Each structure stands twice: as C-alpha cells, then as structure tokens.
C-alpha cells in the first residue's frame, strides 16, 4: 500500500540506529558530514542561526572548501531567521542554498502559511541517511538548553538511503527550478551501487513521503493501516495529536478488540490550542481502552509508531491534519524487529517522566469549554 500511495518501494538497510535526543543526533550527523567525500545534502524545516546552527554552517563551509558538494534546502517560513548575512559565508564557500516556498512578497503568488516542507533529511555520499523529528536549533540540544525538546531521530545505512536521496532531489528541483539534467553528471555518486559493493541489507525499510502534491495521503494511510493490522500493541508518540476520523477510529477499534494501544503526548506543547484540542479526544479514547500518558519533563517532540514486533515508524509527521494533508513529510517504515525493540524501550523509558491520564478527569467548565472550542479548529491544526 505504501508503494502504491507514494511510489517508493520497499528497500533494505544494512543498519538502522535510533538516536535519542538532539545532542546524540547532532554528534552522529556532524561525524557523518566530516567523513563525507563526495556530497552532503540537507533539507530542514527549522534551521536557526544559533549555537548549533552556526556550528553546522561552519562545518559545511569547511567541507565545501575541501571539495565536498553541499546542497542545503530550507523551508522559508520555518527557517525565517536565516538571513543573507548568515548565508553569505556559505555561498562564498560554494555551498548551494535554496529556500522552499519563498515567503518574500513578490517572489511567488501562492499560499505561504501552508504547504511547507516539514522534512528533515540528511544524506552523505548517498550511503548514509538521516530523518526524524530533530531540527537544527538549540531547542533540541540539552547541552545548551536544559529545557530542550525530547526528540528522536534515525540513522540509516544501505540501499534504502537512495529513496531519501530521491526525495531530496525532487524537493531541490522543485524549489530551485533546476532541471535534473544539471545534476546528471553527479547521478552515479548520488546513487552509488550499494548492493554491489556492500551487499544487500537484511533490514526491510520503506521510505514513505506525502504532501499536498498528492491526494493519496500516504503517511496517513500507512499509519492507519498499521494500527488496523495490530494484534498485540500499537504505541504512538506524537507532539501534536489532532486525529482525523479514520485515525481516531483505528485507535479506538484496535483498543476495543484487545490490542494494547498507548498514546504519549506532551503535557504542554508549544501550542495551547493544539494541546486543548488533543485533550478533547481523551474521554473517547479512554472509554475504548486506549492508555494515555502526558510527558511532563520537557516538550515531547518525538514522532514514532510501533506495531507488534513487525513494524516501526519514525519520521517528521505529527499525528494531525496538517502533517497528513498540508505539509511535505517523510517517514521511514522499518518492517520486522530491527527497530521495534529500540522504540519499545524508548517508550518505556519515557514513561518514567510521564503521568497517566485517568478516566473521569475532573475539569472545570471553562477548561471543558476551551477544549471543545479548540476541537472545532481540528481540521485546520
């Protein structure tokens, strides 16, 4: 179904590694960039000109001066604080920088609030790729900010990386208007013969993409389908929980047939309206048997789903209408037990910093009214 919905087939990886926390994620990504020999491709929704953003910029400049081709694609709205002064040293070093859906007046006549690239992609030499929830910002690094977001990311090595590469190149071509033939000479280096040189990996991985350019809503469909297929468990972590009717039905139906359905959301997200809307679904979920926890230590930003021991998903998409229908998103689906154990362990670790939501919650009338009002805006959140 994933292949039919987004056009990308199931591939394989020689290794997949769950990276817990922005600090660990940045360390691994920076190390991979240092070892790149041909090219580094990066696509981000948020890239801030702060400590971590400046460190990454300077590393990319260093590698570009050493002959590595660097392309950086940033969402114009999510990375709006990146200005010409910050980018100038990159351009001088030969780094190619592009903005996705430029928001400046007169540059394009199309909606700029919606239709953002929410994707986080790094590809080094076409062999190692990264995706997940971590943006380039100090808000993700606990070494810099004690209140940093709690997040996870994924490192993939093997032939499945070619589909992250394909996604990046399509986005780059769309954003820049640069015909693919302009990068044709580099195609062999962008898509190395991983299978021939290193052997086919034994971990089935499917890169799934979705966005407003397709009405098939691939990530939405594959998550709903996976929950419907669950037999033992379906554990979902998301910072923004505003489910569609099919998604809500999938969760409650799974719980009603005896599946261990668990949901973890932040106690307080960075949007009061979204938090209120999420809580408006609690009573219905709990009545069906869904167990809900609110992560209280910090802002929870992880976006994962683990189903039985057969399917694990990690990516950029939240469990809401905006990610399912309005943003350009990407997720990695790992079939089999290669990642499910790590995600189960991560979920259980996170429970130590979470509080269960009880049935028959005591709420004041103003709170109930606020949640009900926020739910009216669910299709827009």
Count of alpha carbons within 13 Å of 31, Cβ hemisphere only? Answer: 7
> 76, 138, 130: which is closest to 108 by C-alpha?
76
Examine the residue annotation and report whether 118 is marked as an active-site residue of this protein: yes
What distances in angstroms separate CA 229 from CA 70, 250, 254, 341, one per listed residue? 41, 9, 8, 18
Catalytic residue among 41, 75, 125, 171: 125
Residue 120 annotated to the active site = yes
Containing 265, the helix (H) or strand (E) segment is strand 260-266
Helix (H) or strand (E) holding 100: strand 96-100
Of these residues, 151, 171, 301, 320, which one is catalytic? Answer: 301
| Residue that the structure tokens 């909606």 belong to | 111
Give the CA distances from residue 100 to residues 71, 177, 349, in Å, rounded to whole numbers and listed in that order.
13, 11, 36
From 27, 138, 260, 308, the catalytic residue: 308
Q: Annotated catalytic, 80? A: no
The token duo for 245 is: 């009717």
Residue 17 in tokens: 């590694």
For the question of residue 301 being annotated catalytic, the response is yes
Cα–Cα dist 96/101, whole Å: 16
Report which of 221, 219, 175 is spatially closest to residue 330, judged by C-alpha positions: 219
Residue 75 annotated among the catalytic residues of the structure: no
Identify the active-site residue in 39, 41, 118, 153.
118
Residue pair 351/296 in contact by the 8 Å Cβ criterion: no
The radius of gyration computed from the CA coordinates of the chain, to the nearest angstrom, equals 20
Residue among 285, 327, 280, 286 at smallest CA distance from 303:
327
DSSP annotation of 325: I
Given 120, 150, 153, 220, the catalytic residue: 120
Find all residues with CB under 8 Å of 352, minimum gap 6, and list them.
Answer: none
Q: What are phi and psi of 36, to 5 degrees?
A: -65, 145
DSSP 208-245: EEE-TT-TT-HHHHHHHHHHHH-SSEEEEE-S-EE--H
Check 41, 101, 220, 303 and give the catalytic one: 303
311: nearest Cα among 343, 341, 284, 340: 340
The catalytic residues are 118, 120, 125, 301, 303, 308
């Amino acid at each position: 179904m994933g292949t039919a919905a987004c056009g990308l087939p199931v591939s394989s990886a020689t290794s997949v590694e769950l990276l817990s926390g922005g600090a660990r994620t940045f360390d691994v990504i920076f190390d991979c960039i240092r070892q790149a020999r041909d090219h580094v491709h990066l696509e981000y929704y948020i890239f801030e000109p702060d400590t971590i953003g400046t460190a990454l910029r300077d590393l990319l400049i260093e590698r570009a001066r050493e002959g590595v081709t660097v392309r950086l694609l940033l969402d114009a709205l999510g990375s709006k604080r990146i200005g010409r002064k910050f980018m100038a040293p990159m351009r001088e070093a030969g780094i190619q920088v592009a903005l996705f859906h430029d928001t400046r007046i007169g540059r394009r006549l199309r909606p700029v609030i919606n239709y953002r690239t929410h994707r986080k992609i790094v590809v080094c030499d076409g062999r190692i790729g990264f995706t997940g929830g971590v943006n380039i910002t100090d808000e993700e690094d606990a070494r810099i900010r004690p209140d940093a977001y709690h997040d996870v990311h994924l490192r993939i090595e093997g032939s499945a990386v070619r589909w992250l590469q394909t996604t990046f190149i399509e986005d780059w071509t769309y954003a820049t208007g640069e015909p693919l033939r302009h990068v044709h000479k580099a195609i062999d280096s962008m898509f190395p013969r991983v299978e021939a040189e290193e052997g086919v990996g034994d971990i089935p991985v499917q890169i799934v993409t979705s966005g407003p350019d397709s009405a098939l809503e691939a990530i939405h469909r594959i998550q709903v389908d996976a929950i419907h297929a669950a037999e033992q468990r379906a554990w979902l972590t998301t910072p923004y929980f505003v489910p569609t009717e099919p998604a809500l039905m999938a969760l409650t139906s799974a719980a009603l047939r005896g599946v261990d359905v668990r949901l973890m959301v932040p106690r307080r997200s960075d949007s009061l309206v979204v938090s209120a809307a999420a809580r408006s679904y609690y009573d219905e979920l709990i009545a069906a048997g869904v167990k809900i926890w609110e992560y209280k230590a910090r802002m929870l930003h992880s976006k994962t789903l683990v189903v039985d021991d057969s399917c694990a998903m990690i990516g950029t998409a939240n469990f809401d209408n905006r990610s399912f229908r309005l943003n350009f998103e990407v997720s990695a689906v790992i079939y089999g037990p290669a990642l499910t154990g790590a995600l189960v362990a991560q979920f259980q670790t996170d429970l130590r910093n979470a509080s269960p939501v009880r049935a028959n919650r005591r709420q004041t009338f103003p709170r109930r009214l606020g949640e009900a009002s926020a739910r009216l805006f669910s299709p827009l959140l």
